[in-house]
A and B are shown apart, each in its own frame.
Chain A
Amino acid sequence: MRESEPPLLQLDAPPSARDIRDATLIKERDVFLLTDLEGNAPLGNTNGFGLYLRDTRFLSGYELAIAGLRPTILLSSTRSQFMSAQVLTNPNLVLPDGQRVAEQTLQVRRYRVVRGQEIAESLTFQNFNSFAVELEIALHLAADFADIFEVRGIVRVDERGVMHPPRYEGAVLEFRYAGRDQRMRSTTIRFEPEPTRCTTSGPTAVPTATASYRIRLEPGGSQRLSSTVRLAEISVDADAPEPPRPAPTLAGYKQPLADEAAVVTDNELFNAILAQSRLDLRLLLGGSIEEPFVCAGIPWYATLFGRDCLITALLDLWRSPSLAKSTLRLLAKLQGKADDPERDEEPGKILHEMRRGELARLGAIPFGPYYGTIDATLLWILLLAAHYRATADLALVRELGPNLERALAWIDAAGDLDGDGFVEYRCRSPNGLVNQGWKDSWDGIVHADGRLAEPPIALVEVQAYLYAALRGAAMLLDALSQFDRARTLRTRSQHLRARFDTAFWMPDDEFYAVALDRGKQQVRTVTSNPGHALLMGIVPDERRSTVAHRLMEEDLHSGFGVRTLSMRERAYNPAGYHLGTIWPHDNALLALGLKRAGEEALLHALFAGQYDAAQHFPGLRLPELYCGFARTAFGVPVRYPVACTPQAWAAASWSGFLQASLGLLPAAPMRELRIARPDLPPFLRWVEVKHLQVGDAQIDLRYQRVGDHTAVDVSAMRGDVRVALVSGWDPD
């Protein structure tokens, strides 16, 4: 995921959002509200707080004041994800009439719920004094209608559309912005009861308004104020505004989780971590109910990202095959058709990112959609193959067969730029991504001496994905009775495997280089990337153990996870986005790689480190990434200031760790579930898996650790399927 953009954009960038570590989030579908703990988005905040819809901030200020002061927080809760509750109290007050009100004698209960394109808010003020209190309550509001890229500090916008002055009439306040993309965006706030007064400012760059109430609270008495904020975006070309659609009901909120395999363990803390991660995946659902997708992360990546949703679906496949199916279909629909350098689009390529804000619609950024990803197409093939292994859904393979053909054709036509058999990238778009693997920040791929690697760049993990994609495609072609083509792809994968080892192995370091650069020279930095190669099976058997142990040495493994870059490298920075931080999804893929390498003890150490780290994050929720400081330095994982939380592939990382420990390898076309060397980590004594889907059958399993050994029992089986214990971890 990109933190920084190529230098051209950076040079003219506005101040970036600084810190969202203690942000409070509620979200449903495409609307989310990000605030501080009190539930406020302070006017002029630089944290990115506000109310968002489709990459636009519809409210940039949303702040409550009592007698001109901010109340004190007692409680802030967002347990239900679409609803927040804050309990606030007063600081010491001296009211305009001289009356003194001692601190903590007034209470404010603030509830909010997001539903459809609306946020409803209820504020109840209660007086615990033995005397009546008259209070001035103010709601300060601002709407900058800024694009998320501007909020994030990536793009400076010099020319904006028309900002209308706020309108207030009959208890309804409206902010409106006519974008240069011919879209009218509006934020309408309906107050109940009507405020005592409402003042507005504008037209200014950021129009503001203050709704004020004068309320009297009798001793022990309370009063409620409520408001509804409605967001709308319509085309200015339309003759009539879009009629308001009925908001979808929140009943059935957890329905998308209903068909997934359930996991319960003896460890209540771990159960709570898992439960949070499942709710996070639900929260991250975006798009329509009919065609949902998992947004990559909140707040910066609240949209469709190819790589992110593919890796999320891949990690989570054994728990939720339906998520993989909808992901495959949606990305197939958006598969590249044209050769468009502006968007780094090529026929057959799977997209990187789909933005829907003003800048993307104007073409000021190339992301609506953007195809600058070297791995998403390979991951799409991989996921299609893995989905077939898990479900035996041949109908889906047939349905997506033409997309598979186009993806395979892309590998040859545009993926392998120089015909050397490796897939490499170079950015063609003037505003695109310089680096197009998962470490896609502009400085994400560096030489040992700190120089930036020059494209075209062939990444180590991308060749591994290519290997697995070729083998996966061969299996799918076999299923479609195209045996000759399947054989060709397998032969090609064998040649790739041999060439890969020769080209990427660094004998002195006994590890793989992160990449080959423009001159086909190794980029000889020690990174986490080769761990992905372990998982994909491209690493020769005799090197697996060496690579696995190297990943877990102290310079890479902090104690809380494997760093993106070794701390011995010149470019290492524990707070560098891709240069030393720790990413949960990366570690989950490494865990599966360690499993494939037969290194269960290392897998335990990695799993335990991430489990320990999770306990230190608010809500037991793993963020997108955290800093790479050694565990021995501070004893706690150090939070990255602007990490997305939640982040889809971080939430799904637990599924990857569990799959590795439980040894689950579905082989649905053979009506078989293979279990390879089950081995629970030390912090789990037993694990129960229920409703595990293998094809059209379901299996319940119970794992029990006895000393150093893990036993597994089949508790129930529904449908025609068998369970086989196997020694090797090889999906082929």
Chain B
Amino acid sequence: MSAVTPGQRTIVVVEDDPEIRELEVFLLGAEGYRVVGLPDGERVVEAVQKNAADLVLLDLMLPKRSGNVVLQDLSRDETARNVPVIVVSAYTRQLSRTPQVQRVLNKPFDVTDLLDAVHEALTH
């Protein structure tokens, strides 16, 4: 990723499927966001803290720690609990919703819906 520019918002993308993760990281990067991609749910809280993330895109079916567990991890952390989350999953019925979850997108998703959801989450 390129250097952070002033006012640039940071998004953590947690997605185990490399093609989808790559697409999300690329698309959001091209749209001007700083994006950090993670392949599993193990170090999400750490990534959110370290990068001062403004938003998390979260898959549910993840290796090591599932998306629902990650949501619990985030809600327990003082810094991370205020960061909004967009859940992007093919199994959204299995979501255990927390107050951080602002939007739920079903896979396969329309990239324009993803951009709109991210824009909305970061402007409200």
Q: Which residues of A contact B (CB under 8 A)?
A: 79-80, 83, 85, 109, 111, 113, 115, 120, 122, 124, 126, 192, 222, 224, 226, 247, 249-254
Which residues on the B side are within 8 Å of A126 (C-beta)?
18
Report how far A445 CA is from B110 CA in the complex, Å. Answer: 46
* B17-34 with Cβ < 8 A to chain A: 18-19, 22-23, 26-27, 29-32
List residues of chain A with CB within 8 A of the CB of B115: 249-251, 253
In the bound complex, what is the Cα–Cα distance between A224 and B18 (angstroms)?
12
Residue of B19, B31, B116 near A109 (CB, 8 A) is B19
CB distance from A86 to the nearest CB of B (A): 12
B116–A251 touching, CB < 8 Å: yes
Cβ contact within 8 Å between B116 and A252: yes
Residues of A within 8 A of B23 (CB): 85, 111
Give the complex CA separation of A85 and B111 in angstroms. 12
Q: Give B contacts to A, CB under 8 Å.
A: 2, 18-19, 22-23, 26-27, 29-32, 110-112, 115-116, 118-120
How far is the CB of A80 from the nearest CB of chain B, in Å?
4
What is the CB-to-nearest-CB distance from B101 to chain A, in angstroms, rounded to a whole number?
20
Contact B27 A252 (CB under 8 A): no
In terms of DSSP, what is the predominant structure of the interface of chain A? strand
B22 touches A109 (CB 8 A): yes
Residues on A with beta carbons closer than 8 Å to the beta carbon of B29: 120
CA distance A77 to B37 in the complex (A): 23
Instruction: Check if B119 sits within 8 Å of A83, measured CB to CB.
Output: no
Q: Are A115 and B31 in contact (CB under 8 A)?
A: yes
Residue of A whose beta carbon sits closest to that of B22: A124
**Least CB distance, B42 to chain A, in whole angstroms:** 19
Measured CA separation A222–B111 after assembly (Å): 24
Selected contact of B111 from candidates A83, A122, A249, CB within 8 Å: A83
CA distance A192 to B110 in the complex (A): 27
With both beta carbons as reference points, the residue of chain A lying nearest to B117 in the complex is identified as A251
Which residue of chain B has its CB nearest to the CB of A115? B30
Minimal beta-carbon separation of B16 from chain A (angstroms): 14
User: In angstroms, how far is the closest chain A Cβ from the Cβ of B52?
Assistant: 22
Contacts of A109 on B, CB cut-off 8 Å? Answer: 19, 22
Contact B27 A111 (CB under 8 A): yes
Subset of 20 A-B contacts with CB under 8 Å = A79-B110, A80-B111, A85-B23, A109-B19, A109-B22, A111-B22, A111-B23, A113-B30, A113-B31, A115-B31, A120-B26, A120-B30, A122-B22, A224-B22, A249-B32, A250-B31, A251-B116, A253-B112, A254-B112, A254-B116
Q: How far is the CA of A111 from the CA of B112 in the complex (A)?
A: 15
Given the known A-B contacts A251-B119, A254-B112, are A222 and B18 also in contact in the complex, defined by CB atoms under 8 Å? Answer: yes
One of B19, B27, B110, B118 near A113 (C-beta < 8 A): B27
Q: Which residue of A lies closest to B119 (CB)?
A: A251
**8 nearest A-B residue pairs (beta carbon):** A251-B119, A120-B30, A122-B26, A113-B30, A80-B111, A253-B112, A251-B115, A111-B26
Q: Which of B31, B32, B112 contacts A80 (CB 8 A)?
A: B112
Q: Within the assembled complex, what's the spacing in Å between the Cα atoms of A85 and B26?
A: 11
Query: Cβ of B31: which chain A residues have Cβ within 8 Å of it?
Result: 113, 115, 249-251
Residues on A with beta carbons closer than 8 Å to the beta carbon of B32:
247, 249
Nearest B-chain residue to A80, judged by Cβ: B111
Select one of A115, A122, A192, A222 contacting B2, CB under 8 A.
A192
| C-alpha gap A252/B22 in the complex (Å) | 22
Report how far A85 CA is from B29 CA in the complex, Å: 16
- Cβ-defined contact, A251 with B30, below 8 A: no
Question: Given A250-B31, A251-B31, 20 more contacts at CB 8 Å?
Answer: A80-B111, A80-B112, A83-B27, A111-B22, A111-B26, A113-B26, A113-B27, A115-B30, A120-B26, A122-B22, A126-B18, A249-B115, A249-B119, A250-B115, A251-B115, A251-B116, A252-B116, A253-B112, A253-B116, A254-B112
